[in-house]
């Protein structure tokens, strides 16, 4: 048992957290892109959409219709759905970074923009910052870092395809980074599990209770 514990500890220290340390600059870049996307979303809503919630209501209705069954799901079903979607998104953000980092860039900016637009709409309809934060922060402080870790490795894949590390071919760099990326899921998956639980059982309750 002690040997297994040491192996797990060594794995996280030398494989998972070491890769995160190597990607710390790319994690900050990923965070910056997400935040810039959020600010652009607020700008789009306030300036381009004239701060008018009705302009995007039609788009939101189509989105809600597409995910209509979510409203009929039990909390446990909703939990698994959110966890599955976030895990799939993290995997795609990471692995499709092989195309020169384009997918993580678009995904981070796009998700930030959607968040910014929804924030602008919520405030325009009379909501306040505290209530919005209650619906986002409890799970967001766990979910967003998990996504940023995945995105950083996606950018690493793209970077090393363009400029392989010294002494490595592109194919070697690709294999190394895919292995590192898959190992990161030993941390990403638990984070997304916790985030999904909080989103379903805590964030939604806090948000609805304060509307």
Percent share of the chain, pLDDT over 70: 88
Give the C-alpha separation, 41 to 113, whole Å: 4
Q: Report, as an integer, the average pLDDT of 14-32.
A: 96
Query: Given this model, what pLDDT does residue 104 score?
Result: 95
Q: Report, as an integer, the average pLDDT of 71-99.
A: 89
In a domain, 6, yes or no: no
User: Does the model's pTM come out above 0.95?
Assistant: no
In a domain, 1, yes or no: no
What string of DSSP letters covers 121-187? Answer: HHHHTT--HHHHHHHHHHHHHHHHHHHHHHHHHHHHHHHHHHSPPTT--HHHHHHHHHHHHHHHHHH
In a domain, 2, yes or no: no
pLDDT band at 134 (very low <50, low <70, confident <90, very high): confident
Q: Which of 195, 63, 41 is nearest to 109 (CA)?
A: 41
In a domain, 108, yes or no: yes
Q: Check the CA dihedral 55-116-156-176 and report its sign.
A: negative
Residue 181's domain comprises 18-209
Query: Given this model, what pLDDT does residue 147 score?
Result: 96
Query: Given this model, what pLDDT does residue 128 score?
Result: 85
Cβ partners under 8 Å of residue 154, min gap 6 = 93, 94, 95, 96, 97, 98, 101, 103, 104, 181
Q: Which residue has the higher pLDDT, 38 or 49?
A: 38
In a domain, 81, yes or no: yes
pLDDT band at 70 (very low <50, low <70, confident <90, very high): low
**Structural domain count, the chain:** 1
In a domain, 5, yes or no: no
pLDDT band at 1 (very low <50, low <70, confident <90, very high): low
Q: How far is CA 57 from CA 15, 35, 52, 127, 172, in A?
A: 46, 24, 9, 16, 48
Q: Report, as an integer, the average pLDDT of 172-199.
A: 95
Whether residue 136 is predicted with pLDDT greater than 70 in this model: the reply is yes
In a domain, 160, yes or no: yes
In a domain, 13, yes or no: no
Q: Residue 128 — φ and ψ, nearest 5°?
A: -125, 165
pLDDT band at 54 (very low <50, low <70, confident <90, very high): confident
Whether residue 197 is predicted with pLDDT greater than 90 in this model: the reply is yes
């Amino acid at each position: 048992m002690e040997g297994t514990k040491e192996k797990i500890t060594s794995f996280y220290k030398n494989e998972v957290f070491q890769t995160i340390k190597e990607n710390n600059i790319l994690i900050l870049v990923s965070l910056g892109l997400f935040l810039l996307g959020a600010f652009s979303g607020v700008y789009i809503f306030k300036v381009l959409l004239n701060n008018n919630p009705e302009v995007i209501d039609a788009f939101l209705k189509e989105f809600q219709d597409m995910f209509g069954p979510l409203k009929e799901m039990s909390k446990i079903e909703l939990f698994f759905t959110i966890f599955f979607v976030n895990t799939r998104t993290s995997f795609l953000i990471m692995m499709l970074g092989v195309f020169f980092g384009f997918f993580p860039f678009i995904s981070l900016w796009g998700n930030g923009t959607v968040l910014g637009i929804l924030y602008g709409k919520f405030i325009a309809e009379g909501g306040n910052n505290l209530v919005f934060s209650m619906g986002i922060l409890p799970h967001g402080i766990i979910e967003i870092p998990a996504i940023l870790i995945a995105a950083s490795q996606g950018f690493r894949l793209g970077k090393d395809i363009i400029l392989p590390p010294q002494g490595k071919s592109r194919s070697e760099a690709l294999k190394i980074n895919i292995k590192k990326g898959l190992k990161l899921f030993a941390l990403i998956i638990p984070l997304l599990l916790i985030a999904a639980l909080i989103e379903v059982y805590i964030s939604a309750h806090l948000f609805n209770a304060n509307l």
